[in-house]
A and B are shown apart, each in its own frame.
Chain A
Amino acid sequence: MARLVKFNIGTESFDAAINKLDRDKVYGWIETVATDSAGNTCLTASLLNDGRTMVGSGGIAQKTLDSNNVEVDKSTLVAKLPDMSLAVLQPSIYEQPVTLILASIEDLLDLDVTAVYELTFDDLEIKSKMQSKFLGNAVYSFPFNYRSDYEAADAFMLFNGSVFFILTGNKNQFKFLTNEISEPIVVEETEVSEEELDFGML
């Protein structure tokens, strides 16, 4: 049975499972196969910048190092905010109820979407009750952490008439752009005789 997330809208709670949606599940997928001149399948590798060292899949690791380039055990690290205060771990959406806050469509349109989840319900009655909260194109926002983390993604929940979706990502702060000219330039007509236009001095 899928793990359920508890969503709170106002005083009501709704339990639903979330399922990741991507292009592969909607349109299928493409695999690229490389073959050599004899028709044998090729493997991919990485050629390092020295121009001679080749590395196979999994041959490079990301390591966390201190200033002496000594590997550090990640479990000992301390997370801090820019003001050097300690960062607080935000819980996963599975760990505690998620409170949904009414948002605008423009707020949703500001979101760079990085992941999409489709909601499924064990009990269709819960779904129909939840639908009543999404009348009039209502959308809701909430902080999203699939796993507990120090930073939460921005997330929105919407209903498209048959399915509930969660869109997660980063909400952009777009700024209104203005023209930086303080006043329009007024061109006044002046009387200039043609004799004043000395072409000889050019």
Chain B
Amino acid sequence: MAKFIHISDTKGRDANVLFTGFSKKSKIKYFTPNDEEVQTLRVLKTTLNGSYEKLIKQCGSEPELAKLLISQDPEIDFFQTGLFVNGSTKVFVNSDFQPCITVNLKELVYDVQGLLKEERTPKEMQGNILEEVAIKPSGKLFPKSEVYAKFVFSKKYQLSHVNGLTFDFLYQLSKELDEKKSLMLIGSGEKGVGPLVFQNGGKAYRAFLEGRIKENGYILILHLSNLELKSAITQ
């Protein structure tokens, strides 16, 4: 589904244009030996009352838990086990397995070696692609012949026009980048070097624009990356 993004070009002109992501669906379908198509559904195995965590607390030891499992089948809820699950919400429960009304969240930041570097309060990222101030090109160019070996582009969106004026706007931007054979860093903030967050609570990404031109057509791609191509083994 296409969504809007507020973007400016290298001349400082800005517009709301559409961006679209692509997801590949599997072509393979599975059938029973009787040629009946199968479906995959989420099924309830056991409720929190039948979970290992609750039962081990109740029994005190694994041998006691084993005895209970054999004698009473407490891990099976005969009214609910096997029901289809069509949606759920994440909740926090306390040591008595009751929902917590107040929860304090803390982030523990570890380095590559697994050493605790920092403790901090989590900060929810706010979406910044449709702000009053448009995201803008930073002016920093990365030649295609170099950038492909620097960053991992895990996500891509194609930008598209919504009318004749935005066609011209995006075509010119694509043409400029196509001629330079480079990707341009684009982002939030005054210099256009800040990360992009596509929705509240979403991940932050560095973004790069790539333009391609063929006759009267254009392709303008927003490449997103949160990982550099660095060796983890030598580190």
Using a CB–CB cutoff of 8 Å, the interface residues on chain A facing chain B are 19, 21-37, 40-49, 53-67, 69, 72, 76-82, 87, 105-106, 108-114, 116, 118, 120, 137, 139, 150-151, 158-163, 165, 167, 169-170, 172, 174-179, 181
Contact = CB atoms under 8 A, between A and B. Distances in A.
A45 B93 contact: yes
A87 B95 contact: no
Interface string B97-126: 101111111111111100001000010000
B39 A64 contact: yes
Given A59-B44, A158-B148, A76 B33 contact: yes
Given A55-B44, A158-B149, A175-B219, A25 B232 contact: yes
A194 B168 CA distance: 35
Interface of B: 22-24, 26-33, 35-48, 50-54, 80, 85-95, 97, 99-112, 117, 122, 144-145, 148-150, 152-156, 158, 160-161, 164, 167-168, 170-171, 210, 212, 214-219, 221, 223, 226-235
Contacts of A53: 44, 47, 80
17 contacts: A28-B109, A40-B94, A43-B93, A45-B93, A49-B88, A54-B97, A62-B43, A64-B38, A67-B39, A80-B30, A105-B144, A111-B153, A151-B27, A165-B149, A174-B158, A174-B212, A178-B216
A81 B27 contact: yes
Contacts of B36: 66-67
B153 A30 contact: no
A48 B86 CA distance: 8
Contact of B100 (A21, A36, A81): A36
Given A27-B112, A35-B106, A61-B43, 4 more contacts: A28-B111, A37-B102, A48-B87, A111-B153
Contact of B103 (A34, A76, A162): A34
Nearest to B85: A60
B62 to A, nearest CB: 17
B91 A61 contact: no
A26 B105 contact: no
A112 B19 CA distance: 15
Contacts of B218: 176-177
Given A55-B47, A64-B30, A42 B94 contact: yes
Contacts of B107: 30-33
The 6 nearest A-B residue pairs measured at CB = A176-B217, A56-B51, A25-B232, A160-B149, A46-B88, A42-B92
Contacts of A72: 32, 38
A81 B27 CA distance: 6
A175 B144 CA distance: 20
B227 A26 contact: yes
B91 A112 contact: no
A26 B103 contact: no
Nearest to B25: A170
A64 to B, nearest CB: 5
Nearest to A154: B24
Contacts of B86: 49
Given A112-B154, A177-B218, A178-B217, A29 B110 contact: yes
A135 to B, nearest CB: 12
Nearest to B146: A137
